[in-house]
Amino acid sequence: MSEHKIAMVGTPCEIMAASKLQYYTDSPIDVKLGLFCMENFSYKYFENLLKEYDLKMDDIEKFQIDKGFIFLLLKTRETVKIPLSVAKRIIRKNCNICVELTSETSDISIGSIGSDEGWSTLIIRTEKGEEIVKGALEQKFIEAKEFTDSQFSLLNRLAENKLSKNLEEIEKREFLARPVLYQRSKSDDSIAKEISESDFLDLKSNVIDIGACVLCGACEYACPDNLITIDDTKPIMKGECPQDCHACFAVCPRTFIPEDLRNDNSKAIGDFMKVLSVKSLKHSQGQDGSIVTTLLDYLLTNEIVTEALIVDKEDYLAWKPHAKLTSDIDEVIKSGGTKYSVCPVFKPLSNINEEVN
């Protein structure tokens, strides 16, 4: 049993990977704060798109997506907007077959859809999530107000739109290529059998080669022999897998999903206990209501977790996401704000494995 109790932040696909790590391994992840996510972008292609607007990543103070546009708030205080219809071509291929908007397997999901400016929409999904929100309210880290029926309808409608649009894309791709595994409704027994017959080569042909890899890094983290490395575009494996290892295939969020973690697509935002509009009473530097930063502050201050797994920016490349494990609240505050690109979020957990070994 790990002595680390980690709170992680991630997009729905990363939270699914964390849930599978919890399901199949002795994971140090204790609390999952899931973000809403409609789409994500390739860093390299984003840089190229900015060149068409005579801009560099370093010119940008903040990215915001709203009402069909990417708003670039520049350091000069000007705003440039790029229509999403133009930015469509730089969306990562895996995002077009993603059917989850709201991080359905998290303890608490957070986004902006439905809430007023400066406020966040927060979905409580588990008893652990409920306890955390209750504590953060009591200790005045956050304030909350009702999420109205019309706000809920908007959230639900956007989740349904993502679901139906990307189910269509899945159908198109499956007509031409392999099945998208994580959409198969298989019993846990047949999933266990498939896993027992699979290794990295199956992960490569069923996930990586068909453009379904979300680049989360769960396979790299779970490989007991350290055979997998992730370059900027995809996981690669060097060496020979022992016959009885199937870890990478088991934990990948884009292979089969166990019955307990699966949504049969009948509920657009998944199962939940309560939805609220919330705002931080402690921080204001974040993307929306600074709720992720504030909940991590609450969890670390009260020693409910030992560390936070966050996504900061690289020091040497503007807006390039970089995962970090920290117990320092200043680092958590610095990591506020959305980076619209991906990095292998589980990479920092490998150091914990090395500590144990």
Q: In the complex, which residues of this chain contact ligand FAD (CB under 6 A)?
A: 9-11, 35-38, 40, 65, 110-113, 120, 286-293, 310-311, 321, 335-340
Residue 227: name its binding partner from ligand FAD, ligand SF4, none (Cβ under 5 to 8 Å by kind).
Answer: ligand SF4
Structure tokens at 14: 């990363």
Nearer to ligand FAD, 195 or 296 (CB): 296
Composition of the chain by helix, strand, coil, percent to 5? 40, 20, 40
Name the minimum Å distance from CB 146 to ligand SF4.
Answer: 27
Name the minimum Å distance from CB 49 to ligand FAD.
Answer: 16
Q: Which of 351, 304, 312, 291 is nearest to 34 (CA)?
A: 291
Q: Which of 332, 237, 298, 309 is nearest to 27 (CA)?
A: 309
Degrees, nearest 5: CA angle 354-293-251: 40
Nearer to ligand FAD, 351 or 357 (CB): 351
Contact by Cβ (8 Å): 101, 158: yes
Nearer to ligand FAD, 42 or 287 (CB): 287
- Cα gap 113→151, rounded to integer Å: 8
Single out the residue of 90, 223, 296, 343 in contact with ligand SF4 (rule: CB under 6 A). 223
Distances (CA, A) of 227 to 203, 220, 321, 345: 13, 8, 24, 18
- Cα gap 121→142, rounded to integer Å: 12
Structure tokens at 238: 């060097």
- Cα gap 9→144, rounded to integer Å: 21
- x-or-dash string of contact with ligand SF4, 77-96, rule CB under 6 A: ---------------x-xx-
Q: Which helix (H) or strand (E) holds 270?
A: none
The DSSP bridge partners found for residue 124 are 108, 274
Structure tokens at 323: 């995962």
Q: By Cβ distance, which residue is nearest to ligand FAD?
A: 286
Structure tokens at 133: 């929100």
Q: Which helix (H) or strand (E) holds 109?
A: strand 108-111
Nearer to ligand FAD, 217 or 286 (CB): 286
Nearer to ligand FAD, 156 or 290 (CB): 290
Residue 311: name its binding partner from ligand SF4, ligand FAD, none (Cβ under 5 to 8 Å by kind).
Answer: ligand FAD
Q: Which residues make Cβ contacts (< 8 Å) with residue 324, sequence separation at least 6?
A: 309, 310, 311, 312, 331, 335, 348
Q: Which residues between 146 and 205 bind ligand SF4 (CB under 6 A)?
A: 199-200, 203
- Is 345 among the residues that bind ligand SF4 (CB under 6 A)? no
Nearer to ligand SF4, 136 or 218 (CB): 218
Name the minimum Å distance from CB 259 to ligand SF4.
Answer: 20
Q: Which residues between 28 and 87 bind ligand SF4 (CB under 6 A)?
A: 37, 39-40
- Is 225 among the residues that bind ligand SF4 (CB under 6 A)? yes
| Interface region with ligand SF4, contact rule CB under 6 A, candidates 70-78, 213-221, 305-313, 315-323 | 213-221
Residue 179: name its binding partner from ligand SF4, ligand FAD, none (Cβ under 5 to 8 Å by kind).
Answer: none
- Cα gap 169→179, rounded to integer Å: 12
- x-or-dash string of contact with ligand SF4, 237-256, rule CB under 6 A: x---xx--xxxx---xxx--
Q: Let me know how long the chain is.
A: 357
- Is 98 among the residues that bind ligand SF4 (CB under 6 A)? yes
Single out the residue of 49, 122, 170, 214 in contact with ligand SF4 (rule: CB under 6 A). 214
Interface with ligand SF4 (CB under 6 A): 11-13, 17, 37, 39-40, 92, 94-95, 98, 100, 199-200, 203, 207-208, 213-219, 222-223, 225, 227-228, 235, 237, 241-242, 245-248, 252-254
